[in-house]
A and B are shown apart, each in its own frame.
Chain A
């Protein structure tokens, strides 16, 4: 299994809703990432988990809450989002937790629309 899967593919939510995005990989990778990508822009890093511990938080608002329950699974909990949070949310993984210069394997993304 050499892929990163993300669910759901599409999500529409109101500003008062609570929802979660899910990311899964079974490649034995020990680093997992959340990115946010707005239209026609490159991905922006949000969070990095290394060996199931949060190692980078790029000053992301607290309405985004990441969780890494185990080495294969990464969640992003969403609460009280704003319309400007509408974007493509990409998950990625790489083999070693603290290593640099590694290929990141991306999932297909969840396209989120906040109304």
Chain B
């Protein structure tokens, strides 16, 4: 079993829909990242959070440390949001700044 699990693995949405991607982890963490990877490779860091909630534009990330769960929400989704979304955690028991990655959620937003 992976230490970081994401659901769903694949998600297709219509433009304008509200989207939720979930991340559950089984290790102790000091911080959690949400990353976005477009086809072609480049990865962009969307959020780093260790508690509560963060918002940036149409993106909202929440984390519940007690439940070991985080969600990424996209409001008013747009085809340009189509990408792979990756959850990654810092495990303080592990090596310096080493991330444990989830397997990613492939999102396709159709016009």
Contacts and interface: CB of A to CB of B under 8 A. Distances in A.
A and B pair up: yes
Interface residues of B, number: 25
B10 to A, nearest CB: 11
A48 B44 contact: no
A59 interface: no
A41 B86 CA distance: 10
Interface stretch (A14-22, A67-75, A78-86, A99-107): A99-107
B50 to A, nearest CB: 7
Interface string A31-57: 100000100111101001010000110
A64 to B, nearest CB: 18
A107 B103 contact: no
Sort chain A's interface into a size bin. 20 to 34
B33 A103 contact: yes
Contacts of B97: 31, 48, 94, 98-102, 104
A106 B99 contact: no
Contact of A101 (B42, B43, B45, B90): B90
Contact of A43 (B30, B43, B92): B43
Contacts of B92: 100
A115 to B, nearest CB: 20
Given A103-B48, A105-B45, A56 B101 contact: no
Interface of A: 31, 37, 40-43, 45, 48, 50, 55-56, 88, 90, 92, 94, 98-109, 111
